[in-house]
Structures are given as structure tokens and as C-alpha cells.
């Protein structure tokens, strides 16, 4: 086929939005060629289709084994150009499966992943060390649908995919969410529709260089704990062009819980959130905490539209958390129908266990909001701090200055006047995650429909 070659550059870019199919009648078989392109942090030299590993997309056959066999096979190409697993059109019922490095999971626009509710297809894994056992039942927690740990360079993309759980069975509250990349360096999750996670939908933990874009996340607004996206102890993360309807926070930034999070000491920092639309009638558009014991620093959120949500930006913390929330910049946020545009809760409570340190006080510092427009808001702000102790400052062996700080610091930090406080300006220099280069990856696949049964011929990368 010479078809790929005659495409001009412009046409190739146009093809980002559409898959081209060509059908040739050969006897009673129908041969199809399909071309597709997508933009990703890396392209892959090797590829295979889930159907090569016994996958059946009929909505009732379990594909847990097919997914894991396919990915185990493809993992051999980690250091040989990487690999892509193609999931064809169909309804693919599956339990949890684990990703590998230098790997792309590409879901066709008509592919739907359905999460099985067969408990045996969900491994029980170790709790997160930065959370203690508090959030999970003793002895571990169910794995997420799409899981990966200690990986580098992973892409999950498509035009559309729907994963869903049903809330009919109560035990789902023990389940993790749809995706939990744990200790992954360089990950891109784009253009997916995620539906009805039993818990946080996308939960990157201890990861860096995370790009999350074009996600539609839909959970019933009455189901608790269905946060949209939860960057947790992650560095250099970009969340953009997402539409989230949730029974909990749309985005909740985390970094560990009480003494466990303090000991683990891994902050979430360098986080960009832009072009987010959120509906969260009982929670926040962007929550910082309440598990923030490893610290949250340098969050930049802009171009946010919030409709019918409880609060806009909410800082949640408590005595015992320790850690900090600092250098938070928000600009360009439109809020329609909301209880509190800004909310800060210093007594959120909810501890990992009773061993938290009552002297571990969180620091909330340099919070900047500008160009915020709200209509039909019950109260502009509700800001609840933590009652100051008798000695609000205790300075030993330090020196420096302070500038407009209340309550007034100790004598070792003399006040040089509020002129030293920077205005609420959004930083002008970009974060490293905005400089990550993407490539256009082009593939073609040939398949046959033999009396309606899909026969896969080949799938290959098209050289540009
Ligand atoms: C995601 O969708 C957007 C908008 O349709 C498109 O520009 C982008 O290239 C897509 N990304 C991928 C990785 O498919
Ligand atoms: C996936 O990884 C987890 C944690 O490392 C492990 O417990 C589980 O058995 C793995 N699943 C498969 C199917 O290998
Ligand atoms: C991560 O994987 C590397 C090899 O790929 C291994 O050496 C290392 O021990 C792993 N680390 C953890 C925490 O599992
Ligand atoms: C204003 O907010 C209230 C709830 O606080 C809601 O019932 C009402 O529909 C909203 N009005 C408009 C015009 O959106
Ligand atoms: C201040 O800190 C020093 C050094 O940690 C400690 O010894 C002292 O008791 C503290 N004072 C108060 C009033 O908490």
C-alpha cells in the first residue's frame, strides 16, 4: 500500500482527528486497511493487537489473561524501540492488568474497556507507605484497573474509551480507581472517557513528568470518594483540557497522610492545571489536601470553569498533618453556582490513626488568587485556620527578615514592612513539563472481517 506516502503533511495533521479506513473486497473476505496517527511523548517500533493474544471483545469474555499475556510479551521490547498494544473496536471485559516500560496502550475509538466485578481478577497489593493503612482495610488494598509500578515512558491514549464499574455491589468501596501509575517516570494519559470509578479515577503516585490531557471523567454526583484526578507525591505534572463530573473533588492534590506522609516526605510540586471544567456539587473544583503531609508546592491553575460545585479552591488540612501548602497560583476561574469560592479548613480531622503528632502543624503560605469571577455564590470565602498556640513562633539558631507576617514573628525575624511581599502574580516562566516534546506516531493496520469475525493481519508503524 502506497497510501500513506501520498499524504501531505497537512493531511497527516488533519488525520489526528480521524481514522481512515479502506475496504477491499477479496472473495468472501473483506480486507480493511486502517491508518491512524496520534501525538505522544514517544512512538513505538513494535506493536500487537489484543486479539493476537486471544482477546475477545464481546463484552462477556474475560480478557484479563489476554491483556497480561500481551503486555508480558511486549515487555521484551522495552530496550528495543518500545511497543504498543492496540485494542480494536469491541467491548473488552477485564480485571486489572499491569503496564510495562516504553509502552503505549492504544485504544481504538470504538473500544470500550469494561471492568469485571469478579473479585478474583483483582490482586491485593501493599498499601501506600505514605498513607499508612488508614485508607485501606487491614492486609492490603485492591489494585486499580490499569496499574503500573516502577516504570518509565508509558502512554495510554485513544480517541475515546469508556471504562466503567457499576455501584450495585457495596464492596466496590474497597476498590481503587481506574488508573494508578505508581513510581512511573514519563507518563501520558490522553483522550479517554472514564466512567464510574469506585474510587479516585486517575491516581498518579510517586511519579514524575506526568501529562494528563483530554480526559472526560463522569461519576454520579451522589457517589462519594469518586475524585477525578489525584496527583499524589508527584513532580512535574500537567493536567489540561479535562471535563470532570464527580461526587467528590474534581482534582485533589495529595502527598501522604499524617505521620506516614511526614516520614515518607515526598511532596507534590510543579503542578499545572489548565482548561478544566468541573461539576462537583458536594466537593471542590481543586482541593489541596487533606492528605498533604509530604507538602504541596508550586501549583499553577488557570482557565477553570466550575458549575454547580460546593467550593472553588479548597485547602484542607488538620493538626497532625505537618507538611505545607505553599506557592499556589490560581487565575482565570469562572464559578457559577457555588457555596464558597474559597474555602480553607484547618480542622479537617480524619486521621490515618491515633498516633499522629499533635505538634505537627501544617504551614499554609503564599496562596494567590486573581481574576476570579463568581456568580450565584452563597459566600465568597470561608477561611478557618488552626488556633494559634500561646507561643506562635519559636525561633532558635536562625536569622532573616519577615515582611508583613501575622502573627508577628519572633525578634530574630524583624519585620521589614509589607513592601517585601510579592504581588499575587502568576509566575511567567514555564515549568519543565511544558517543554516536553511530543511526536506524531503513525500506524497502519490490516485486518479481515471473515463472516463478521475479526482476523488481525498486521499492525505496523509507518515511517515518515
Ligand atoms: C487528543 O485529542 C485532541 C483533540 O481532538 C487532539 O488534538 C490530540 O492530538 C489527541 N491526542 C492524542 C494523543 O490522541
Ligand atoms: C501487578 O502488579 C502487582 C504489584 O506489583 C502484583 O501484585 C500483581 O500480581 C501484578 N499482576 C499481574 C497480573 O501480574
Ligand atoms: C525498579 O526497577 C529497577 C530495574 O528496572 C530495579 O533495579 C529497582 O530495584 C526497582 N525499584 C523498586 C523500588 O522496585
Ligand atoms: C443559585 O444557586 C442556588 C443554590 O444555591 C440554586 O438553587 C439556583 O438554581 C441558582 N440560580 C441560578 C440562576 O443559577
Ligand atoms: C522552643 O524550641 C526549643 C528547641 O526545640 C525548645 O527547647 C523549647 O522548649 C521551645 N520553647 C517553647 C516555648 O515551645
| Rounded Cα–Cα distance for residues 393 and 411 (Å) | 10
Whether the CB-CB separation of 302 and 426 falls below 8 Å is answered with yes
Ligand 2 proximity of 125 Cβ (cutoff 6 Å): yes
- Choose which residue among 358, 395, 396 to substitute to test ligand 5 binding: the one with the highest number of ligand atoms within 8 A of its C-beta: 396
Which atom of ligand 1 is the closest one to the Cα of 17? Answer: 5
Q: Answer whether 75 contacts ligand 4 (Cβ < 6 A).
A: no
Structural domain harbouring 286? 2-461
Per-residue model confidence (pLDDT) at position 293:
98
Compute the distance from residue 202 Cα to the ligand 1 centre, in Å.
18
Q: Say what the pTM is.
A: 0.83
- 248: annotated active-site residue: yes
- The atom number, within ligand 4, closest to the CA of 336 reads 14
Q: Is the distance from the beta carbon of residue 375 to the nearest atom of ligand 4 less than 6 Å?
A: no
Phi and psi at residue 370, in whole multiples of 5°?
A: -150, 160
CB within 8 Å of 378: residues ≥ 6 apart: 338, 339, 340
What's the CA gap between 170 and 398, in Å, rounded?
54
Spacing, Cα 213 to ligand 1 middle (Å): 8
> Which CATH number characterizes residue 181's domain?
2.160.20.10
The rounded distance, in Å, linking the Cα atoms of 366 and 325 is 8
Contact 188, 161 (CB under 8 A): no
Radius of gyration of the chain (CA): 24
When divided into structural domains, the chain yields a total of: 1
The Cβ of residue 248 has, within 10 Å, a number of other Cβ atoms equal to 22
68 lines ligand 2 (CB under 6 A): yes
pLDDT for position 126 = 87
Establish whether residue 308 lines the binding site of ligand 4, counting it when its CB lies within 6 angstroms of any ligand atom: no
Distance in Å, CA 375 to ligand 4 centroid: 9
Low-confidence ranges of the chain (pLDDT < 50): 1-27, 170-173
Spatial distance between the Cα atoms of 312 and 338, rounded to a whole number of angstroms: 8
pLDDT computed for residue 4 by the predictor: 26
Rounded to the nearest angstrom, the distance between the alpha carbon of 150 and the centre of ligand 3 is: 6
d(CA 253, CA 235): 12
**Strand blocks (E) in 222-323:** 235-245, 251-253, 268-279, 284-288, 296-316
Which ligand sits closest to the CA of 184? Answer: 3
With the most atoms of ligand 2 within 8 angstroms of its CB, the residue from 68, 116, 143, 206 to mutate is 143
For residue 389, give the C-alpha cell: 498556640
Q: How far apart are CA 448 and CA 256, in angstroms?
A: 50
Which residue owns the Cα nearest ligand 2 atom 4? 125
Amino acid at each position: 500500500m502506497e497510501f500513506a506516502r501520498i499524504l501531505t503533511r497537512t493531511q497527516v495533521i488533519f488525520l489526528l482527528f480521524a481514522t481512515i479506513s479502506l475496504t477491499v473486497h477479496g472473495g468472501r473476505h473483506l480486507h480493511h486497511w486502517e491508518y491512524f496517527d496520534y501525538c505522544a511523548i514517544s512512538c513505538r517500533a513494535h506493536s500487537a493487537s489484543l486479539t493476537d493474544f486471544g482477546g475477545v471483545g464481546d463484552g462477556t469474555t474475560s480478557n484479563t489473561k489476554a491483556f497480561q499475556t500481551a503486555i508480558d510479551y511486549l515487555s521484551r521490547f522495552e530496550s528495543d524501540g518500545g511497543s504498543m498494544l492496540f485494542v480494536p473496536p469491541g467491548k473488552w471485559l477485564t480485571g486489572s492488568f499491569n503496564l510495562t516500560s516504553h509502552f503505549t496502550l492504544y485504544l481504538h475509538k470504538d473500544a470500550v474497556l469494561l471492568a469485571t466485578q469478579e473479585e478474583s481478577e483483582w490482586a491485593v497489593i501493599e498499601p501506600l507507605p505514605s498513607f499508612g493503612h488508614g485508607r485501606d482495610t487491614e492486609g492490603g488494598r485492591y489494585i486499580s484497573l490499569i496499574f503500573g509500578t516502577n516504570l518509565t515512558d508509558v502512554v495510554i491514549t485513544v480517541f475515546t474509551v469508556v471504562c466503567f464499574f457499576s455501584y450495585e455491589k457495596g464492596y466496590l468501596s474497597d476498590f481503587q480507581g481506574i488508573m494508578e501509575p505508581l513510581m512511573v517516570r514519563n507518563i501520558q494519559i490522553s483522550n479517554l472517557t472514564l466512567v464510574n470509578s469506585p474510587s479516585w479515577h486517575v491516581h498518579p503516585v510517586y511519579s514524575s513528568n506526568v501529562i494528563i490531557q483530554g480526559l472526560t471523567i463522569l461519576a454520579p454526583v451522589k457517589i462519594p470518594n469518586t475524585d477525578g484526578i489525584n496527583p499524589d507525591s508527584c513532580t512535574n505534572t500537567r493536567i489540561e483540557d479535562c471535563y470532570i463530573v464527580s461526587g467528590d473533588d474534581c482534582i485533589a492534590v495529595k502527598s501522604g497522610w499524617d505521620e506516614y506522609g511526614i516520614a515518607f516526605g515526598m511532596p507534590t510540586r510543579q503542578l499545572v492545571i489548565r482548561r478544566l471544567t468541573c461539576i462537583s456539587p458536594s466537593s471542590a473544583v481543586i482541593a489541596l489536601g487533606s492528605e498533604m503531609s509530604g507538602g504541596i508546592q508550586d501549583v499553577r491553575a488557570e482557565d477553570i470553569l466550575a458549575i454547580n460545585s460546593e467550593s472553588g479552591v479548597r485547602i484542607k488540612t488538620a493538626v497532625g498533618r505537618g507538611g505545607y501548602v505553599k506557592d499556589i497560583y490560581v487565575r482565570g476561574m469562572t464559578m457559577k453556582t457555588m457555596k464558597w469560592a474559597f474555602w480553607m479548613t484547618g480542622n479537617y480531622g480524619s486521621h490515618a490513626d491515633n498516633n499522629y503528632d499533635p505538634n505537627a502543624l501544617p504551614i499554609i503560605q503564599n496562596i494567590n488568587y486573581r481574576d476570579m469571577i463568581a456568580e450565584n455564590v452563597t459566600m465568597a470565602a470561608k477561611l478557618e485556620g488552626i488556633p494559634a498556640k500561646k507561643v506562635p513562633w519559636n525561633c532558635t539558631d536562625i536569622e532573616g527578615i519577615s515582611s508583613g507576617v501575622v502573627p508577628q514573628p519572633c525578634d530574630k525575624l524583624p519585620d521589614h514592612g509589607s513592601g517585601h511581599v510579592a504581588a499575587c502574580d502568576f509566575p511567567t516562566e514555564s515549568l519543565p513539563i511544558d517543554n516536553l516534546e511530543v511526536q506524531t506516531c503513525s500506524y497502519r493496520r490490516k485486518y479481515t472481517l471473515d463472516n463478521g469475525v475479526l482476523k488481525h493481519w498486521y499492525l505496523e508503524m509507518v515511517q515518515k
